[in-house]
Structure 1
Amino acid sequence: MNKFLKKLHPGYSLRAQISLASAVMVLLLSAAIGFYAADVSKRQIEESEGNAFELRAKNALDVLDRGMFERSREIQNAAILNEIRDPLAPIEHKREILTRLQATFNAYAWIGICDPDGVGLVGTGRYLEGKDLSKRPWCSKGRDKTYIGDVHDALLLSKLLPNPSGEMFYLVDVAAPVLDRQGVLQGVLCGHIFWRWAEEVLDSKKTPGKDIFLISSDGTVLSGPAKPQSKLADLSPAAMQAISTNQSGGSQLVKWNDGKTYLVGFSKSSGYREYQGLGWASLVRQDVNTAFAPARQLQQHIWLVGAALGLLFAWLGWLMAGRIARPISLISQAADKVAGGDLEYELPARLGEGEVAHLSTAIHDMVVNLTHEIKQRKEAEQGLRLSAKVFESNTEAIMITDAEQNIVMVNQAFTQITGYGADEVLGQRPKLLSSGRHGPEFYEAFWHALRANDLWRGEIWNKRKNGEIFPEWVTISALRDETSQISHYVAVFLDITERKKEEERINYLANYDVLTGLPNRYLLSDRIEQAFSSAQRNNFKVAVLFIDLDYFKNINDSLGHDIGDALLKLVAARLKTCLRRSDTIARLGGDEFVALLSELDSSEEVIFVAEKMIESLTEKFTLGEYQLSITPSIGICIYPDDGETSVELLRNADLAMYQAKDDGRNNFKFYSPDMNRKALERLKLETFLRVAIVQQQLSVYYQPKVSVLSGKMTGMEALLRWQHPELGFISPAVFIPIAEETGLINEIGDWVLRQSCLQARLWQAQGYDIVPIAVNLSARQLKQDNFAARVVTILREAGLDAHYLVLEITESMLMSTGESGLQILEQLRDDGVRLALDDFGTGYSSLSRLKNLPLDSLKIDQSFVRDIVTDPNDASIVSATAVLAHALNLKVTAEGVETQEQLDFIRMLNCEEYQGYLFSRPIPASEVVKYFLPD
């Protein structure tokens, strides 16, 4: 190869190597940037376009859902028109109304009514009149409530309606029951909606270059660039899987059966207002080749620019390398002679102060000294071999540094312990092993002892190559030369990790709970004493919280100790999150924990922590197949108010904890002998009541009202019940006053009213001949300005006629009701709601006020009925009350009738109704149906 070609060949020329390396680096960098930029661009396109596709799909579904809701509302409104509901209205008049409705809303292919037997009664264009429609879903399912059917073909209508194309019609059905004024079914009103209005919404022309599909709940393609009625699972299983597994919508890359990959965005129908939707989904797609075209163009542009820069840098590298390589080539020629054994060769001196001149001088000096050193080296080799064997075979790590602390030698044990090979540490300083655990004072003492005694022995924490910190026992010696100057340092050390672990294990077992990892009783006592000392110095308070898990023994006994231990670990973790880093949570044993809160300014901080602990345990614990609930009882003591020693505080906190258990569990109590017990009880019940509302612990029972003459149920009273998960049944007499005081009664009262109306409507829909339901009102409810409107709204939402609702007010409410309250009662009466006076005789009502109230009935309190047979005074009161009520044209209901003698007495007084244990206790809704008369 000639000289010129060698200069261009990287294998022979440093100059060519530098030039080529410059070009390659630029090209590789350009390629990497191109790939990276394209990848980022693709991800951005995928994310932005995918979100846009998903939004387009969602918007299309929203339009469809709103359209279906409007059509449903149109049919419902038409079904309650008097001319449609009236069975005596002429058929021609009904057909005229339906034809006008179809002309107004041109989305309908046909609107008509089938009679209760399923025979076509009337329809636009006289189509389907007289036809048997009983098997049509809209005719059978629309009898009880509004019906919205999915897309279907219409073989019959496609033949009857004008259809020049002869193509199959696809329709959507919307139907509603037609009831007369007495609620008797007269038929079903149905509207067949042309499917083409939905296809217009999904027109792909609105998104050029992108396809849009509408898919039914079973995966059938209802609209889109695919064969009608085809299955999406056949077109793209991955797309079908994505729609099935996502709750609302999303976007991703999906492969279709045409062999192409598409970027798709999809959304699921969520309905609109009362319309729940038919489970439709919409999907927008675009071929990835089209979607990612900008990313490919960006990548190609970067590559072209990189290629041009690569050529430029190769040329620049060639020029710069020439200046570097020329003097080095001269030194290389001289080095070849010396390497060939010509030790007498005199390398030409190169004058100057540059690196090349210094290199030339160094090579000259090296050749002069080389011959002399060869002899000495051979003599020392034998001794070095022996020393090397001893050095390498030593099981203790050995590290030797020079006087400047540069590592000059290590043995194999050093590598095994630290992970560093000799080639990695030679020339380095021992500082590379530093763990960072020792401060400046440690190293000052270390160097002082080493320089004074030429020896230091002790324990040091160092760091391995992999970052692991480990303890070692080290002996460091200083070696001095013949002038007494330190020449080397020798460190010999052992890894004592296992010994330290054993020491830590012993210390851990002595101070920590093995199961939960929390401090145990001994460590807790030590930290309490430290907290006391700090509190005395800084005038702070310290709190001790004794925590016991309620009914934990039941879990151990029923599910086993392994489940119990696992639950304790989870409880410990949650309790720990409720504390500050400066606080302590310890386990004393079993299901008992103690929290130590230091540096407190007030008891409010303790209350916050206690409430946080209770709240943290509210969420259920998942242990395998079990979903477990656990509640804490917490006793609290404050230092120095409740004790001055750890034993005293723990004992008092334990007593407070038991008081918390006696007060119903799942709460906390401060240790205070003089604390007002009733106030605590009220606070606890208020807290529980708020939780009961959220956790739906309240329920409604019903006690029948019975006709005195017939013995049949003529009404019922809705009674609120509270079954607490821990305290069991809580009497309304206990929690209703609390609800009144806190204002919770408004929320609870509305809930009871809504539940009662919905239950009555449900019984009515099931075919029962329902009776009025009486609901008790509170004074707070009646003082709300919009109360009458809210009652009417609840009745309307439930679909219940107002005369099935009776609102009961008490005498005490009458006394406190002002003019506004009387107006509300009159408005309710005008709206059709019945009113009853409850607990008559227990208050101090004014007869003049009583006669002006819009009442329908009066209830005699059970306290008078209880002894009506044996107490002449009660008998007189009940008799007078019945006479007074009848004089005011009020129906009389006697409460608390429990014996036949009491019933005979009120029958003699011509009382219309009674309620009491003689007929039935308050019972849940599922048991009430046995008292209904057949419809």
Structure 2
Amino acid sequence: MKRVGAINTLLILGADGGIISSLDHFRSDRFIENYQWLLSNDLIPDKLSATFVIPMHGRTYIGPITNYAGFQLFDIVVPVGPLEHPTGVLLAKVDATILWQTLEPRLARPGVITYLVDGRGSILTPHADMKYDVGHLATPLDIIRALLADSDWKVERTYKGLSGNIVFGTVSPINIVNWGVISEIPQQQITKHIYNILLQITAITVGVLSIFTFLGLALVKRIINPIELLSSDFKRPGNRDYSPSQAVSSIKELQSLTDGFNSMVSDINNNEQQLHKLTLAVEQSPNSVVITDIKGNIEYVNPRFTKLTGYTYEEAIGQKPQILESGINKPESYKQLWDTITSGKEWRGEFYNKKKNGEFYWENASISPLTNEEGVITHFIIIMEDITERKNSEEIILKMAYHDQLTGLPNRTLLIDRLNQLLARGRRNKSLAAILFLDLDNFKNINDSLGHAEGDNLLKEVTERLKKLTRSSDTLARHGGDEFIILIEDLKRVENITKVVEHIFSEFKKPFVLNGQVCFVSTSIGISIFPDDGEDVNTLLKNADIAMYRAKEDGKNTYHLYEPAMTERTI
């Protein structure tokens, strides 16, 4: 169906005022507020025209003539969808000038002025013999006042017409559009024949206008039917019904609207399925997932987070991730973290965190910024993996690599590392250090008589007694078998080592209870001094060992400081 020539614009508007479809191909993202030229100037307080608001309340609206860019336009607007809650409106912008140009040749009679007035009494159509322009408010005329008052007009009455002459007039209301057709003929020309012609003109005018109105309403009906079907379709996605619309229209724009709806619901369905999968992935992730705003306030945590930390979803929301802080992580690491993510980069690292119940645990964390379409950071996402078991395993492996399995003391490998560090500090601070080499006397007899298990128990008990005699800055290590090494750092004077040795011998004077038997065990001690007896690890250990064997030779249960002559004797 072709658009009627007098219809300037045909629009379908949604409930928000957005243009859904147009016969003049307006862009769909235009809004009614940006196109007030399409509407009446009779604005209501909320800045939307009555042209839109009245139909949205379920009533047909026919507007006054407005002048735009030389066009005399008026609106016919009907609601779309249920009258109680319309889903939009259909707006037809009619060009009164074209309409009148179509009708005027059929109505024109010599000496007769025929014109239209609207519901306010404004002149809608021009005539060469009029003294007034279109849009003039002609309410001073008696015949127009009678029209507006819906009262009978007696045709024998005369009045001063629009030409300025005394005229006879007839009035025919057009109720469907709230207009009236006025025909005037000068009093001096009126005759019975002319009067009859005047009535015929009025009847023809009303008939033509009625036909035009019928055609317009037929066009509206043809548009409304698919629109009503589509309006009901638009409700279905809210109930997760994404089946395509069955609305069919021969009007290209309306069919495009149906195709657009079907494409939209298909996209929504696909996007929702994708979102559902992503939601399941996050909700069922074995890692903790936290989303914060740009200030670090928590907006989301997944079930793994609540299970691991002990904080409920409600307790976590609005808090900051610092609720997990153990107090052990270095403050500078947090600053480096924040500088990284606020610059748009990803940060990775480990945290030693604390659960709600006070239990500590290790996490490997990845923190990334989330940005909007303009690239502005709006949120941060934190993905954390509990690595406590791995850390514990690493610690056990590390301890096994550097500690004696029986006594838990540093083994020879860690001893060498500690001794190297001690020597480096000694050189830097120009300080003395002592290396005590202890070997238990007659340990083989304990193993042979009481068994290796009791021998091991003896070594454990010796370890505990020696621990009580060493400072936190000193190192007590098991060198192997029944040999122990004590590293004493920052020795003020060589003579001070005598006090340490005396304390050791005092501990060994106390009996050991092995397998229910009381045993006495002694030890022989060799001592080397840094830097007097050597400046490297091997030399100092070798010289302390030599001094220990000298103590054995002197009857055991004694000690000797290393002397160069001992080396010569050994050789």
Under a length normalisation based on structure 2, what TM-score does the superposition of the two structures give? 0.49
Higher helix proportion: 1
Larger radius of gyration: 2
